[in-house]
Structure 1
Amino acid sequence: MTVLAVALLAVVLVVAVLRPVPEAVVAVPAAVLTVLLGVLPWDAARAEVAELGPTVGFLAAILLLGRLAEAEGVFAWLGARLAHTSHGRARRLFTLVFLAATGVTTVLSLDATVVLLTPVVLATTARLRVPNRPHAYACVHLSNAGSLLLPVSNLTNLLVFEASGLTFVGFAALMALPWLVTLAIEYGVLRWFFRRDLPDAETPTPPDLPTPRFALVVLGLTLAGFGVSGYLGVEPVWIASAGALVLAVRALVRRETTVRGLVAGTSPLFCLFVLALGVVVAGVSAHGLSDALAGLLPTTTGLVELLTVAGLAAVLANLVNNLPATLVLLAALGPAPAPALVLALLLGVNIGPNLTYVGSLATLLWRRILPTPPRLATFTVLGLLTVPVCLAASTVALWLVT
């Protein structure tokens, strides 16, 4: 059974990386086979889906919110603001892109940064006739390493948030210092690494675009709602759904979208993929992987222990992708792990993927969006310069605040 469980997971991951078809086309049948062939009992599979359900519901809501914000012109306006405020200077534009990617990742998740912001950034650099490499790499690095602050910033964050037992604000308070430390290192290394691609000559800037005030107000209120959700006893999924509903009703009334378009905006196939992947990973965990990892994972929260968890999580993320790595490691940590251990795990699965293409689905999507394939050597060297330092420094920061 162990060989069968691993084989099913391997097939799902290969398809997710190469993507000859949508991930769910293979993941859902693999999940069904996991149950039918006895790899995972039906009750356990149903429990896994029920546990992941609220997280996937939140994912659908936040993806729709990002798509509707794009339709409202938020990202086009942001690109125009980047160009206008930078005055055509590549160095200033890089700093602004860095800040924009950080903000979009934090509020709308890393998928919005990769799928919605990156094309806008590429178009902006082309319009200003400045090299796009520094700005493109800022988007991908911040979609991963910059997604540490809020539970909404990454699907891995949502999974860890559920296991941590923390409130929304409590999660953000503990992750604030590791996040800031990571951002400082990323900015310094990226700015130095691409220094020759950042000329300081000024180029003509395009005119600004009208501010999409309604959408920005909705996004601001949604973010504020996330902050108070814990005090009100309201799950964040309902806050995200409310924000998406407001923009959806507005778009429907103005005939800018259809019900079918709204359903497509939730990325239903990707959500199915996440649920199916959870079942397949649960099958692997049930046949020895969780027990093996549990023997490697510490139970105390000293600095060495936190570094061990973060390092192991980063290695596993680069071997099997950060989403299954998160599911497996959470299972290995047991039903009530110390919050510090869970957050150290998150550092590993979010920062670690900047080292290899397969580390996160966001990086794979980023590669497909670029007009020319990125050089593996550049990606790897930049990862080696940032990942170990960011991982160590952010873990020390986490240790200091927990």
Structure 2
Amino acid sequence: MAEVVSVVALLAVLAFAVARPRGLPEAVAAVPAAVVVLLVGALDPADALDEVLRLAPVTGFLAAVLVLARLCDDEGLFHAAGVLLARAGRGGPTHLLRMVFVVAAAVTTVLSLDATVVLLTPVVLATAARLGVPSRPHVYACGHLSNSASLLLPVSNLTNLLAFTATGVSFLHFTGLMAVPWVLAVGVEYLVLRRFFAGDLLRPDEEPSSTAPPREVPVFVLVVLGLTLAGFLVASLLGVDPAWVAFGGAALLATRALRRGHTTAPALVGAAGLPFLAFVLALGVVVRAVVDNGLAEALAHVVPTGPSLPALLGAAAVAAVLANAVNNLPAILVLLPLAAAGGTPTVLAVLIGVNLGPNLTYVGSLATLLWRRVLHHHGTPTRLGEFTRLGLLTVPASLVLSVTGLWAVLALTG
């Protein structure tokens, strides 16, 4: 009974997260589901509390990054990105695509994948419309890079934060190990998207207006972001939780924005995404119940461990499949305890799987679901067939090359 209730609760939470009836937050289903698994005895309250405490620092960090991203938007960072893209777009759609890749990869890496989906994608849509070029290649670049470009830093993705904690390596060490996989994943995305949307990337018959928008650089924001990134490195060396650095960067921008009247205290609280944080914690409890009631034992027989290339490829493949079956956040929560038995190589291979795999289906990651909603909200609906075909071209190739790159880095560095 406990196993059945746990699985049904998880499926119900994921179905609600995909559909989001009436735009209700995911926590509306996740919190009651967590209560149910406790009431039926599927999970001991002490274990539930342990899971919440384990996830609390990660969710706190996520809240700080969400506030930081929103403040960057309020202070004009994404407007400046739109100006940069508009100037680049005067060289043609292909030049615009290259610049979208640069900007989307940078935003995903520094401000997390949510900023790319929620803040950058509308800017790219508006820029494409202003230049009179098809938007499909450029918005698909945002959607795919919100997942695949999130491999580099521990702060780029919630899944990274969880894996980073499990590995025990430093911030700089994590980044060094993932640099080659990140370059390979982004490179595959660019080559495939450029070929897939070749027709849309032809120069339009009518050239854009010769009037270029004025160049705008939010210097203060860029300085704060640079100091925040440097702070992550220093905090890692000193053994300080990076959440404190993120809070510091957000507090610095918030103080300035409040004094200038660019934001309000309620707006800052809203930017922290409290319902989403509650969803993450409740989902962790539900997943823990599923794991403790048989899933861990079943997956232990199919998740290979060890530093060999076949083992790493196998671990990444299992992670990618599971991410597309139950979403990448539950997948990483389920797989991390098993992957930890194989050490850092297996954990990072699983991370590659749950980050790159979601580009194959809509339900693979919350970022992909959110990206789809953003496009629908702006009158640019996606087509399932097109999304799937592009995923079939990018996911296997990027997965194999990125894991191979990770294996090579591990082999060379010992």
Q: What's the CA shift for 1:210?
A: 2.6
State whether structure 2 residue 192 is matched by structure 1 residue 189: yes
Q: What's the CA shift for 1:333?
A: 3.0
8 A contact 1:285–1:331 mirrored in 2:
no
**Distance across 2 between alignment mates of 1:298 and 1:281:** 21
Percent pairwise identity: 58
Task: Tell me the equivalent position of 1:5.
Answer: 6
**Distance across 2 between alignment mates of 1:227 and 1:293:** 35
**Distance across 1 between alignment mates of 2:217 and 2:189:** 30
Residue correspondences, number: 401
What letter matches 2:370 in structure 1?
Answer: L
Q: Please, which runs of 5 or more residues in structure 2 have no aligned partner?
A: none
State whether structure 2 residue 381 is matched by structure 1 residue 373: yes
Q: Which is worse superposed, 289-298 or 118-127?
A: 289-298
Match of 2:43, SS?
coil
**Distance across 2 between alignment mates of 1:300 and 1:311:** 14
Q: Please, which runs of 5 or more residues in structure 1 have no aligned partner?
A: none
8 A contact 2:112–2:155 mirrored in 1:
yes
C-alpha distance after superposition, 1:78-110 (max 9, x if no partner): 111111133251110010001100000000000
What letter matches 1:250 in structure 2?
Answer: R
**Distance across 2 between alignment mates of 1:71 and 1:157:** 26
Q: What's the CA shift for 1:209?
A: 4.5
State whether structure 2 residue 21 is matched by structure 1 residue 15: no
Say which of 75, 78, 95 aligns to 1:92: 95
Task: Tell me the equivalent position of 2:208.
Answer: 203
Task: Tell me the equivalent position of 1:279.
Answer: 285
8 A contact 1:88–1:203 mirrored in 2:
no
Q: TM-score, normalised by structure 1?
A: 0.98
Task: Tell me the equivalent position of 2:181.
Answer: 178
Q: What's the CA shift for 1:304?
A: 0.6
Matches within 5 A, 1:103-182: 103-182=106-185
Say which of 28, 51, 54 aligns to 1:51: 54
Q: TM-score, normalised by structure 2?
A: 0.95
Match of 2:150, SS?
coil
**Distance across 2 between alignment mates of 1:386 and 1:87:** 28
**Distance across 2 between alignment mates of 1:60 and 1:337:** 31
Match of 1:46, SS?
helix
Matches within 5 A, 1:321-400: 321-334=327-340, 337-370=342-375, 371-400=379-408
8 A contact 2:118–2:371 mirrored in 1:
yes
Match of 2:208, SS?
coil
**Distance across 1 between alignment mates of 2:296 and 2:276:** 25
What letter matches 1:346 in structure 2?
Answer: L
8 A contact 1:61–1:241 mirrored in 2:
yes
What letter matches 1:129 in structure 2?
Answer: G
What letter matches 2:15 in structure 1?
Answer: V
8 A contact 1:77–1:208 mirrored in 2:
no
8 A contact 1:164–1:337 mirrored in 2:
no
Say which of 292, 303, 309 aligns to 1:303: 309
State whether structure 2 residue 275 is matched by structure 1 residue 288: no
Q: What's the CA shift for 1:207?
A: 1.2
Provide the alpha-carbon RMSD of the alignment.
Answer: 1.1
Distance 1:337 1:56, change over 3 A: farther
Match of 1:173, SS?
helix
Say which of 24, 31, 35 aligns to 2:34: 31
**Distance across 2 between alignment mates of 1:276 and 1:304:** 35
Match of 1:195, SS?
coil
Task: Tell me the equivalent position of 2:263.
Answer: 257
